[in-house]
A and B are shown apart, each in its own frame.
Chain A
Amino acid sequence: MPPDDGHGRRDYDVVVVGGGVVGCAIAWRLSFTTARVALVEAAHDVGEGASKGNTGIATSGADCAPGTLEADLVTRSSPRWEELCASLDTPWRRIGTLAVAMSAQEERGLQHLREQAVRNGCRSELLSGSEARALEPLVSPRALAAVHIPDDGIVDSLRLVIGYAELAARNGVDVLTGAPVTGFDRDGGRIAGVRTARGRLAARFVVNAAGIEAGRISALAGGDEFEMWPRQGQYLLLDRELGGRFAKIVGGVPTELTRGIYCVPTTNGSLLLGPTAVDSSYPGEKAVDSDTLDAVFAAAQRLVPAVRRDQAIKLFAANRPASDPVYRVGPDSRVGNLVHAAGIRSTGVSSSPATADLVHSLLADAGAPVEAEDASAQTALAPLPRLLGHPDPERLLHLDPRYGQVVCACEQVTAAEIAAACAMRVPPRSLDALRKRTRAAGGRCQGTVCLAGVSFLLSLHMGMQPWEIPVGEPEATLGVAS
């Protein structure tokens, strides 16, 4: 971190506001330049907003509206996933999607999807019901037809955000979590500094990647007026033993309103059902209700009869940022050194690498010193081996004997993996943050067996007493002082 000037003030070329997938991708891209960059995030960890609760699909863009910025950024991102995820130690597999029609009306919708895919330059093929079942035997025998989109993939979106932030931090970006923006210092028509709960940062340029809060941040900066609101999605997460049997993402037919309910095998083997799409006005609202979950489950079971409600290991809700228009990526019309990367709704993960490139070039156009590449920048994170599914566990124990200490039995997370997560530049500061990095306590027993042990280990690494360990945000600890 640059030394402060004695008044809690630090100087940066670019301050990125928002540590979701968009902000972290931008910080990652800027970390390859010689610019001095900070990323400020209100929550205690990166990836705590919309990036925390999404399907984990990296779409190839087949279902994006043709001709839009969204379609452009998603289709330009799609070919990059293999290389990108390898460099960020992020699990990823290009398994493809089957959009399945169960009725004549849905079959007509497939035609529309297919035309969109062609216009977006995405590969797709129209299949009969039996051809679809040959690709994914779990698809309902009542399926009439399907469109196969082979270039869609699944990504661990939590690890993606953390990977972006971690590599950025290793390349010198200051990642400040727990630092909500409280205001901006103005100098004429420009921003001079960003005031946060963790001090003031002098900023030559500011990127607004604040997700649902982006409209409020713009208003605080005296910038363009726009409104963001949360669109809530509810999900059921099903057991790994079922998810591991899926070969394809299975979805319904997208409509004008929503992409619909999906059955998405995740990179760690579980199966995600969801999301719903309900606009609300309160960003803190992340409650699930049983009627909605029943509807999600019924929609998923219609596509894949093998799913069972008693295989659910977790029920959760998350909000994605909704706005009109979507994808407001560009310079502010009033504030000369403010660039927005806002309105990025459900495809934030899928478009993140190309969005980061776009914001980089927008900053360069605005005169930010981001054009000189830093030859010494690290281009990839060293992959951290994991016991789960590892072909040669013996070798892991030679690497670090703590691989022999399985802490979370459901997800087979070892003490070595927990220690490595705690040694990150963007370390976990809560049990949730540790789960995002390692999956510890995130399996079928949801920590029933291991949470006490996991919290003792985390407290050792954090130098805190076990009861002081936050579950998520610092105000809510695992224990209370007795």
Chain B
Amino acid sequence: MTVAIVGAGITGLACAAELAPGERVEVFDRIPVAGGVHGWRAPETVALHRAVLRAGVAMRLGATAVRWDGEALLAVGPGGVQRLPAAALVVATGARPLTRAELGIAGGRPAGVVPAPVACHLAENGLLVGRRPCVVGGGDWAARACHELLAAGAEAVTLLAPDGPSRPLPGGVRVVEGVTPAAVEGGPRVTALLAGDERIACDAVVLAHGLAPLRNVDGAVWEGPGVVYAGSLADPATVAGAREAGARAAAEVRGLLGTEAAA
């Protein structure tokens, strides 16, 4: 039977490796490389990628999975459109920090309130979202954002960590702990973040708190027929955790298909 896996990170690859001996597996990823947050050069990515290719898994890298109707997955990429009839769909598309709405941050809608992955991506390209940014969060994305922002030339970074910082931070980051972000002030650009009794003056708010599954295949955003979710919201994301999540999903797929693990 055919299994479609969306997400070519460690989780998706591990799931594919488990299922490939018995099933026909195709793995999709919107970007043209495997590895997800762990990167395409990570030794585990390279090894798993080789293993799944040897096992006959079809890698559809650069194709965005857009729709699942319970029987087939529709994917669109520069190479064309593919409709893959499948008995099961594994959603292994990773996680993202919580959005402003999910954090319930009140106030107006000034410019400069930016998700951490965007701030990091821009900083890597030499684009700074603020000179005095306030990063919200305490985990991996928060630490990474502090590093990237300072490396890109930020003058002062404040970290607002509701649960305290759980990762090592670069020197010079001012840390405010134990309060949750309540509202932003300012316009047209943000001028302050309010949290508890604190008023943190800043010119950007970088959202790096918490993790939510990143799910955007229509028809598989929540539970659905034939849909298996594979992922871990552990912070930091580890290769071992991702492999485990992939293996768990593979077992769930087998349960759904009524098949046995290949010896």
A positions within 8 Å CB-CB of B = 236-237, 239-241, 284-290, 293, 310, 312-317, 387, 393-394, 397, 401, 403-406, 409-410, 412, 414, 443-449, 451-452, 455, 466-467, 470-473, 475-482
Contacts and interface: CB of A to CB of B under 8 A. Distances in A.
A452 B128 CA distance: 12
Interface in B207-263: 214, 216, 218, 221-222
A480 B128 contact: yes
A239 B104 contact: no
B60 to A, nearest CB: 12
Contacts of A312: 101-102
B131 interface: yes
Contacts of B130: 480
A158 to B, nearest CB: 15
10 contacts: A239-B221, A289-B106, A312-B102, A403-B76, A406-B77, A451-B115, A466-B122, A471-B112, A478-B122, A482-B152
A46 to B, nearest CB: 18
The residue among A290, A387, A449, A473 with the most chain B CB atoms within 10 A of its own CB is A449
B108 interface: yes
B108 A480 contact: no
Interface of B: 30, 64, 66, 74, 76-81, 96-97, 99-102, 104, 106-112, 114-115, 117-118, 121-122, 125-131, 152-153, 182-183, 187-189, 203, 214, 216, 218, 221-222
Which 8 A-B residue pairs are closest in the complex by CB-CB distance? A476-B111, A476-B188, A471-B111, A482-B153, A406-B64, A448-B115, A452-B121, A482-B128
A65 to B, nearest CB: 33
Contact of B106 (A287, A479, A482): A287
Contact of A451 (B114, B126, B182): B114
Given A401-B78, A405-B78, A480-B131, A290 B106 contact: yes
B76 A446 contact: no
Contacts of B183: 287, 289
A135 B130 CA distance: 50
Contacts of A310: 102
Contacts of A240: 218, 221
B101 to A, nearest CB: 5
Contacts of B127: 466-467, 478-479, 482
B96 A313 contact: no
B129 A478 contact: yes
Contacts of B30: 406, 409
Contacts of A285: 108
Contacts of B114: 451
A478 B107 contact: no
B108 A286 contact: yes
Contacts of B131: 480, 482
B188 A475 contact: yes
B81 A394 contact: yes
A466 B125 contact: yes
B128 A446 contact: no
B203 A313 contact: no
B225 to A, nearest CB: 14
A312 B102 CA distance: 7
Contacts of A397: 76, 80-81
A476 B80 contact: no
Contacts of A412: 64, 66, 76, 218
A476 B189 contact: yes
A133 to B, nearest CB: 22
Given A471-B111, A476-B187, 5 more contacts: A397-B81, A405-B77, A412-B76, A448-B96, A451-B114
A445 B81 contact: no
Contact of B216 (A286, A444, A473, A481): A444
Contacts of A393: 66, 74, 76, 81
The residue among A241, A401, A479 with the most chain B CB atoms within 10 A of its own CB is A479
Contact of A313 (B99, B104, B122, B126): B99
A472 B113 CA distance: 12
B198 to A, nearest CB: 17
B190 to A, nearest CB: 9
A479 B129 contact: yes
Nearest to B65: A409
B6 to A, nearest CB: 10
A347 B120 CA distance: 43
Contacts of A482: 126-128, 131, 152-153
A446 B99 contact: yes
Contacts of B99: 313-314, 444-446, 448
Nearest to A404: B78
B142 to A, nearest CB: 14
Contacts of B64: 406, 409, 412
Contacts of A241: 218, 221-222
The residue among B77, B128, B188, B214 with the most chain A CB atoms within 10 A of its own CB is B188
B76 A406 contact: yes
Given A404-B76, A406-B64, A467-B128, A472 B188 contact: yes
Nearest to A469: B127
The residue among B101, B109, B115 with the most chain A CB atoms within 10 A of its own CB is B101
A387 B76 contact: yes
A267 to B, nearest CB: 16
Nearest to B114: A451
Contacts of B76: 387, 393, 397, 403-404, 406, 412, 414
A404 B111 contact: no
Given A387-B66, A405-B78, A449-B117, A288 B107 contact: yes
Nearest to B129: A479
A444 B97 CA distance: 12
A314 B109 CA distance: 11
